[in-house]
Copies of this chain bind each other. A is one copy, B any other.
Amino acid sequence: MVNDIQSASQLDHRADPQRKAGVLGNCPDPRDLLAMSPKLDLDVLDRLHNCSILSAAQFDLPLMQELSKLAACLQLRKFPAGHALDDKIMAAAFFEPSTRTRLSFESAMLHVGGKTMSVADAKTTGVAKGESMRDIGQMFNSYADIVVVRHTQQQALQQLTEYMRVPLINGGNGSDEHPTQALADWYALMKWRPELAFGTLPEQFRLTIGIIGTPGNMRTVKSFLTLALLFHRNINHITIFSEMADPLGTELRALTNASPITIDFSRNLKQSLEYLDVIYMNAIAFLGDGYRFFGDEFSLSSQSQLKTDTVILHPLARGDELGTCLDDTDHNLYFNQADGAVWLRQALLLAIFGRVRNIVPRELIK
């Protein structure tokens, strides 16, 4: 590395100034979202007080609106929040390893003054000695004020809550759900098209969404679809791209059948690109007891015939299905999603701890 450095004045090796200015790709302004509805309805956020977050199905449109507005306020630093949770401890219990989700939650908690303790790997725990999930849950009551859990097994969270007295947040449980990931997905989309949540788009502007993945057994996809149904006033159509015979499964089919949004299925992504406004993709399917990468035919690159204003969401980490050649384009909303997730999670933590009223100035309260 020595030869790369020419002089002491050339100390700054970071990426070019343009990239430094903001998030790479499409970077919508949180102010646009607040412009639609500038004041926070704290009664709505109070519904999250002391609640565990297990499923995307716990959220309705007003809750999505107010959470996203609070996240936007935090992202814009409209009021100080750096000491709001000074007396609170979050345990991040990741029985399945994950960098992104764990660090995103830890960062959120640290940003609002909270303290963190972590289990980064099940192999470093007494679980290796055969401890049951419900005994572990009981333990967290004594140690932390809130617990974020990721686990390979869907049923682990239910077992964990059996004894718990403090709120729990599902950070991904097997093939079931990943609700805060979906909240962050929709926070990005609401900043991108604020009318989605706060208005009614004229018929011709209502969105068509493509979901690449199998909602029935991919947790981020399931949670994303569940929230999508809340926006039925402004979404006309959802196409699900999957190799599976039954991508929805019984549970989600009941939910989608009850929705005014028309949903269809396809295996031909290429043919559909001309009409998709939003493409949600996910590289990784949890099948049985392990992960595998999703099919090649469902990949996107700068060669793909995307509409000019199509945006792509991806929970990351990515595989070959999402070309890095798209990173510099306005199609890339996935980096913005990751960036916004930290602010959305701060909003969620503040609401669960009932501390929103302590930090929001009166003139911003509805």
- A residues in contact (CB < 8 Å) with B: 1-5, 8-9, 11-15, 19-20, 23-24, 47-48, 50-52, 54-60, 63, 82, 87, 89, 91, 94, 97-100, 103-104, 106-107, 110-111, 115-121, 123-132, 134-136, 138-139, 141-144, 154, 161-168, 173, 176-177, 222, 226, 251-252, 254-255, 284, 291, 316-319, 324, 327, 335, 338-339, 341-342
- C-alpha spacing A1/B139, complex, angstroms: 24
- A291 — which chain B residues lie within 8 A by C-beta? 129
Which residue of A119, A176, A226 has the most chain B CB atoms within 10 A of its CB atom? A119
Knowing A12-B50, A55-B5, A141-B339 are in contact, say whether A99-B116 is a contact too (CB < 8 A).
no
Q: Given B5, B100, B161, B317, which contacts A130 in the complex, CB threshold below 8 Å?
A: B317
Q: Given B24, B123, B222, which contacts A121 in the complex, CB threshold below 8 Å?
A: B123
- C-alpha spacing A240/B347, complex, angstroms: 54
A110:B89 contact, CB within 8 angstroms: yes
- A251 — which chain B residues lie within 8 A by C-beta? 2-3
A15:B163 contact, CB within 8 angstroms: yes
- A24 — which chain B residues lie within 8 A by C-beta? 138, 163
B164:A15 contact, CB within 8 angstroms: yes
Nearest Cβ on chain B to A341's Cβ, whole angstroms: 7
B119:A120 contact, CB within 8 angstroms: yes
Nearest Cβ on chain B to A253's Cβ, whole angstroms: 11
Nearest Cβ on chain B to A339's Cβ, whole angstroms: 4
Q: Given B15, B51, B97, B161, which contacts A161 in the complex, CB threshold below 8 Å?
A: B15
- A141 — which chain B residues lie within 8 A by C-beta? 23, 339
Q: Given B2, B139, B173, B252, which contacts A252 in the complex, CB threshold below 8 Å?
A: B2
A13:B129 contact, CB within 8 angstroms: no
Q: Given B56, B142, B319, which contacts A341 in the complex, CB threshold below 8 Å?
A: B142
Knowing A12-B51, A107-B143, A318-B135 are in contact, say whether A1-B165 is a contact too (CB < 8 A).
no
